[in-house]
Chains A and B, each alone.
Chain A
Amino acid sequence: MVTTSSTTGTPSRAILRCEHLCRTVGSKQIVNDISFSLNTTQTLAIVGPSGSGKSSLLRLLNRLDEPTSGTVYFNEVDYRQVAPRELRRHIGMVTQRPFLFPGSVAENLQFGPRQRGEELSGDGVSNLLERVGLPGFSSRSISNLSGGEAQRVSLARALANSPSVLLMDEPTSALDDEAKKGVESLIRQIIGDQRLTCVLVTHDTAQAARLADHILVLESGRVVRIGPTSEVLHASDNL
């Protein structure tokens, strides 16, 4: 259950649990005392206006940035006790822009497993590409991909690490309408099929409603509201 820990006391075994997470840059507190927990297979959408700290919060979850105070528990282990590389393999991330590495699509998909000495086979690459709707793209150069295709490759690259949690930072906001629909439907399918635990940052409340079962509303780095999607949206309508 996605909750603020302050409202429910000790939650049931959560895969991801934030406790009083704060991050200050210079004199500005960009993430301010955020606590929530997320159980397996739940999808949490983080919504809020620009500059509210959505992406900053997401970057704290896989420790790309360091919290100023507070911490995150991954499978009930303080993530500062886990080697960063190991943590990031389990908590995958898809960014707004795909940032693919120069080379072929297959090389991009093989990158993650190769970091821990594993080789993703040709069949493994093909399976992943089929899952993201890009069969036969294995040998394609990344310079010949459209925006939507590149984002699908980025998603497949993150999945190649078999993560337990997938973080997505505005994965469709840099795409045109058609590509956006395709990638969103793919995300929905992957969330459903894989039973992945996801944290999705979006500025689009409608997209949050379509993809997530829980919503966290951020404003100025603080949690304004958190709960099941229908409840949060209903409460927002009544304001």
Chain B
Amino acid sequence: MLQTIFRSQLSLGLSQAAVAAALAITVAILARRRGIHLERETLIALVRGLAQIVAVGSVLVLMLRGPRWTGGFLLAAMIVAAGATSAKRAKGMPGAFRVSAYAIGSGAGSVIAIMSWLGVIDAAITSLVPVGSMLIANAMNTNGLALNRFRSEVLAHVGEVESALALGAAPSQSVATFVQSSFESSLIPAIDSLRSLGIVWIPGLMAGMLLSGSRPVYAAIYQFVVLAMIFASSGLTSLVSTILIRSQVFSPAEQLLLRPEA
């Protein structure tokens, strides 16, 4: 229907974005009726997301024509931004940004580096940046989930954590159960994506490869490769993140610093 009204690609794109945003806002309004206030956060995220993707798209066009190092620079900037974004899911946790940046850097960064070196990811910027950004974005989501879950678990079990400390437990032991549950729950989306690949969803990368003329079997296999890389980088990110954050919530004298606000 929109194609018949809007002839130019730009106006069609903007109209499609407006419809999709309206749908998201409708959901936020429905949530508001049930007392869940997401409207402000949704609106900001939509505007910000659109502005960012348009800006990055424009920069990408320029950078994709640039020297190879610009790809690494762009991915490093993405890791820092991803660290800052997912750290916001860990409100009140000391050192959340540093932990997130290290975790995403070591998780997604190492997978990107190894896979580029092995030739699994084409080192050309046109391939490295889009695939790398997918790994970083998923690592960011996993990291956010892990930190958020860890924070909630510790805040809900302050008594148990301090009882363990009072019995002479090491800080790492006193939160071991919560580290484990945070790690497991943060990987649920990545595991489910891998499980449902091709059955519940056909990811955009595969559709794009098919449209650009790749052989369907190779497109399918490469999609699996990407999802396996996403799982690996997300898993590594969550592992590093949960290990690092557990030491951040204790003082050098092994006192729990993360406590409910009075």
B126 smallest CB distance to A (angstroms)? 52
Q: Smallest CB-CB separation from B169: which chain A residue?
A: A115
Given A63-B255, A64-B255, decide whether A99 and B170 contact each other with a Cβ distance below 8 A: no
With the chains together, A89 CA to B170 CA distance in Å?
11
Given A64-B165, A115-B167, decide whether A84 and B159 contact each other with a Cβ distance below 8 A: no
Q: Does B77 contact A (CB under 8 A)?
A: no
Q: Does A65 contact B (CB under 8 A)?
A: yes
Are the CB atoms of B160 and A115 closer together than 8 Å?
A: no
Q: Does B253 contact A (CB under 8 A)?
A: yes
Of the stretches A90-98, A213-221, A229-237, the one at the interface is A90-98
Q: How large is the interface on A (under 10, 10 to 19, 20 to 34, 35 or more residues)?
A: 20 to 34
Given A66-B253, A85-B254, decide whether A111 and B167 contact each other with a Cβ distance below 8 A: yes
The listed residue (A64, A92, A158) touching B162 by CB distance below 8 A is A64
Residues of chain B from 162 to 189 with CB closer than 8 A to chain A in the complex: 162-170, 173
Are the CB atoms of B168 and A116 closer together than 8 Å?
A: yes
Residues of chain A from 58 to 98 with CB closer than 8 A to chain B in the complex: 62-66, 80, 84-86, 88-89, 92-93, 95, 97
Contact flags (1/0) for B137-167 with A, using CB distance below 8 Å? 0000000000000000000000110111111
With the chains together, A157 CA to B168 CA distance in Å?
12
Are the CB atoms of B170 and A95 closer together than 8 Å?
A: no
A166 smallest CB distance to B (angstroms)? 11
Q: Does B11 contact A (CB under 8 A)?
A: no
> A84 — which chain B residues lie within 8 A by C-beta?
165, 253-255
Q: How large is the interface on B (under 10, 10 to 19, 20 to 34, 35 or more residues)?
A: 10 to 19
B231 smallest CB distance to A (angstroms)? 29
The listed residue (B159, B165, B168, B169) touching A97 by CB distance below 8 A is B159
Given A64-B162, A95-B159, A99-B160, decide whether A115 and B168 contact each other with a Cβ distance below 8 A: yes
The listed residue (A66, A86, A88, A97) touching B166 by CB distance below 8 A is A88
> B165 — which chain A residues lie within 8 A by C-beta?
64, 84, 88
> A99 — which chain B residues lie within 8 A by C-beta?
159-160, 162-163
Q: Smallest CB-CB separation from B159: which chain A residue?
A: A99
Q: Does A112 contact B (CB under 8 A)?
A: yes
With the chains together, A197 CA to B253 CA distance in Å?
24
B225 smallest CB distance to A (angstroms)? 40
Are the CB atoms of A93 and B164 closer together than 8 Å?
A: no
The listed residue (B166, B169, B253) touching A93 by CB distance below 8 A is B166
Q: Give 9 A-B contacts (CB < 8 Å), ordered by A residue.
A: A63-B253, A64-B162, A84-B253, A92-B167, A93-B166, A95-B159, A97-B159, A112-B167, A115-B167
Q: Which 4 A-B pairs have the closest CB atoms?
A: A89-B168, A99-B159, A112-B167, A93-B166
Additional 5 contacts, C-beta under 8 A, given A66-B255, A115-B170, A161-B167: A64-B256, A86-B168, A93-B163, A116-B168, A154-B163
